[in-house]
Amino acid sequence: MRQLLALTSSDLLQRMRDKSVLIFALLVPLALMTVFNLVFGAADDLEIDPVTVVISAPADDDLAQALTGVVRALDGTDELDVTVVETDGSAGRRQVRDGDAALALVVPAGFGEAARAGEPVTVDAVRGDEAGIGADIVLSVVDGVLDQVASGAVTARAGLAEGVAPADIGALVEQATSGGPAYDVETGQASDEQLGAGAALVAGQAGLFLLFTVSFGVTGLLIDRESGTLARLRSMPIPGWVIVAAKALVSFVLGVVATGVLLTVGSYLFDADFGSVPAVAVLVLCAAAAGTSVMFLVVRVARTSEQAGIVTSIVALVLGIGGGAFFPVSATGALSGVLDLNPVAALLRGLGTTSGGGGLTDIGPPVAIMLGFAVVMLLVSRLVPDRGVLS
């Protein structure tokens, strides 16, 4: 144990002096996060442009005028800027066509009478080509009002058909159109294993560069061999596995520290909240263990630093991109099951769970996947013939 700790502390000091570790473990991913923040940081800042709505409605139809009043009342609600212009139908369509209005609503004559009688009636909506989300909001509100009108008409006709007294119909219609649900809904946080756009980028970049960071253990072994340090170590009464374990422990520590820093700084840049700190810490430890386990396989097959660099780069990019480091990846069938076993994808799912309010008891599946991946890599490394640095 003393030999392991001595080799580990010595290698850690060397890695801390190595600028390449600082560059690839922290500076490069932080630079990418900063660029992503500049490009996508304001994507969630929704700006609703002012909306001009041209309405053609019969002046003597109280129900049509009520619909106009609802649209007019949207002005100033939830940052909406709605201007209502009353005109005839042809003028409204022309203003939308000319770009002077975003939306035109044409309420036909006899709208109120037909709606009360439960007869089919159509309100024409003309949306401009350049209309934005504000027009969509107005349309959704109009749809809701028309649904309430239809619901009231259906209720009235059903009540009369069942023999309800005409004096009681009004109360039934009011209950059907304005009554709330017969249950209470409490707002809470529930995990759907999905991160927001900014948080997903942060977690993805942290997972991707974790795989690059842990590769410095393999590089350290190759550098020691090229400099003659490895030969001197092997001439001492130190088992070969202790040398490899020390490099693995260095990789593990660097991976944990770098990933923790990236998640912390990235959450600040993107205003992301990954949830419970103990649960996130467990996920980071498991992800670092999964990434480090790949080193045991690489160290048995890589003969040169070039080979090690190629292998680790391929593994990091395949697992990182396949796990959703840059964009969500979805698949069906057997391929979906394979993607679910990716430690980077498991890290993102675990952070999605903690971000949604989950704790230590809720991250069992992603933790099992990452630890299982580590065990499989260790077993495979024992089965692969040793043609690498210690052969």
Same domain, 379 and 285: yes
Give the Cα separation of 57 and 88 in Å (integer): 8
Residue 323 burial (CB count, 10 A): 25
**Last-in-domain residue among 120, 152, 178:** 178
| Percent of all residues in the chain with a pLDDT value above 90, rounded to a whole number | 5
**Last-in-domain residue among 178, 204, 232:** 178
Same domain, 339 and 248: yes
Same domain, 124 and 222: no
| Mean pLDDT, rounded, for 122-144 | 80
Same domain, 214 and 349: yes
Mean pLDDT of the residues in the chain: 76
Residue 87 burial (CB count, 10 A): 16
Q: Which residues contact 241 (CB under 8 A, 6 or more apart)?
A: none
- Ordered alpha helix ranges (H), 189-239: 197-214, 216-227, 229-235
Same domain, 283 and 300: yes
Structural domain of residue 249, as residue ranges?
2-42+196-383
Question: Is residue 227 exposed (0-12), middle (13-18) or buried (19+ Cβ within 10 Å)?
Answer: exposed
Does residue 274 lie in a domain region?
Answer: yes
pLDDT score recorded for residue 335: 64
Same domain, 31 and 73: no
Same domain, 165 and 250: no
Radius of gyration of the chain (CA): 32
Does residue 357 lie in a domain region?
Answer: yes
DSSP letters for 5-49: HHHHHHHHHHHHH-HHHHIIIIIHHHHHHHHHHHHHTTTT---PP
pLDDT at 359 over 70: yes
Same domain, 379 and 260: yes
Same domain, 25 and 161: no
pLDDT at 181 over 70: no
Which of 298, 290, 277 is closest to 386 using CA atoms? 298
Does residue 189 lie in a domain region?
Answer: no
Q: Is the dihedral of CA 357, 361, 362, 364 positive or negative?
A: positive
Does residue 26 lie in a domain region?
Answer: yes
Does residue 137 lie in a domain region?
Answer: yes
Same domain, 81 and 112: yes
Does residue 244 lie in a domain region?
Answer: yes
Same domain, 284 and 360: yes
Tally of structural domains, the chain: 2
| Percent of all residues in the chain with a pLDDT value above 70, rounded to a whole number | 77
Evaluate whether 260 touches 284 at the Cβ level (below 8 Å). Answer: yes
pLDDT band at 283 (very low <50, low <70, confident <90, very high): very high
The reported pTM is 0.61
- Ordered alpha helix ranges (H), the chain: 2-17, 19-22, 28-40, 62-73, 89-98, 111-117, 133-161, 166-178, 197-214, 216-227, 229-235, 240-269, 277-301, 305-322, 334-340, 343-355, 364-383
Angle at alpha carbon of residue 283, lines to 370 and 254, rounded to 5°: 90
Evaluate whether 374 touches 293 at the Cβ level (below 8 Å). Answer: yes
Q: Is the dihedral of CA 302, 233, 212, 279 positive or negative?
A: positive
Same domain, 37 and 60: no
Does residue 188 lie in a domain region?
Answer: no
pLDDT in tens, 360-388: 888 888 899 999 999 998 888 888 776 65
| Mean pLDDT, rounded, for 335-344 | 74
Give the Cα separation of 32 and 15 in Å (integer): 23
User: For residue 86, what is the domain's CATH number?
Assistant: 3.40.190
| Mean pLDDT, rounded, for 249-278 | 85
- Strand pairing partners for 86? 55
Does residue 389 lie in a domain region?
Answer: no
**Last-in-domain residue among 178, 204, 219:** 178
